[in-house]
Amino acid sequence: MSKRRVLELFYDVVSPYSWLGFEVLCRYKNVWNVDVQLRPGFLAGIMHASGNPFQAMVPSKGAYMIQDLERVSRFFQVPLHQPSDVFHVIMKGSLPAMRFVTAVQMSHPEFLESVSRELWMRIWSEDQDISEPESILKAAKKALMPEDQAKMLLSTISSPEVKNRLKKITDKALGYGIFGMPSIVAHINDRPQLYFGSDRFEILAHELGEKWLGPVPQKSRL
């Protein structure tokens, strides 16, 4: 069997398109010969450093996103719904949530996938705030994380260790030339290749020499 290729997924739960990329890679991690490595970063830091404004903050892009979310929700089979105030979501940001996700990865990585998913669910499916501690704890509970563990991790999100880890991953993303999320860095032939967005999987599959079976491979008839 050929060597497993590493796919690094850089994401932030404030990004709905990151949720799509996340779910597709989670579905394909046992279909393709790949090692998927989740890299929770801070999207606002990347946007600021790269000079790239949030899509929803540009009126025409924001209007397009409202239409697009319904289409991609059906196509990717991810329960995306437009929040009642998407600008409020962007302005409040995701820093506490992404520090919590970082703390989870550092101490209890077995919950990283489920906690990330539940935070996306709160914003982009249930129209809930994720900037407050109680909301983060509710997401952790739905991810089946024990309450005492979740509270302990939440108490560490302002620690230098957690803050430095999130900054390190964000800086690593910038080092790859990443300017938005989701971004996948595929290590092919000992060379990192950057794929931005949730609509590059067919091209990624071609480069990997793998089959693209659509966004839900388990339902493919091929």
At 80-127, the pLDDT tens digits run 998 888 777 877 889 999 999 999 999 999 999 999 999 999 999 999
Is 77 part of a structural domain of the chain?
A: yes
Q: What value does the mean pLDDT take over residues 20-33?
A: 97
Is 64 part of a structural domain of the chain?
A: yes
6: phi then psi, degrees, rounded to nearest 5 = -90, 130
| Residue 57: closest CA among 81, 16, 90 | 90
Is 36 part of a structural domain of the chain?
A: yes
Angle between helices 133-142 and 147-154 (to 10 degrees): 140
| 146-195 pLDDT per residue, tens | 999 999 999 999 999 999 999 999 999 999 999 999 999 999 988 999 99
Is 218 part of a structural domain of the chain?
A: no
Residue 55 pLDDT exceeds 70: no
Tokens describing residue 35: 């090692």
Angle between helices 112-124 and 133-142 (to 10 degrees): 120
| 6-26 pLDDT per residue, tens | 999 999 999 999 999 999 999
Q: How many domains does the chain have?
A: 1
Domain extent at residue 74: 5-212
State if pTM tops 0.85.
yes
- pLDDT top residue among 22 and 52: 22
Residue 43 pLDDT exceeds 80: yes
pLDDT of 51 reads 80
The secondary structure of residue 3, as a DSSP letter, is P
Is 180 part of a structural domain of the chain?
A: yes
Is 159 part of a structural domain of the chain?
A: yes
Is 222 part of a structural domain of the chain?
A: no
CATH at 75: 3.40.30.10
pLDDT of 56 reads 55
Is 221 part of a structural domain of the chain?
A: no
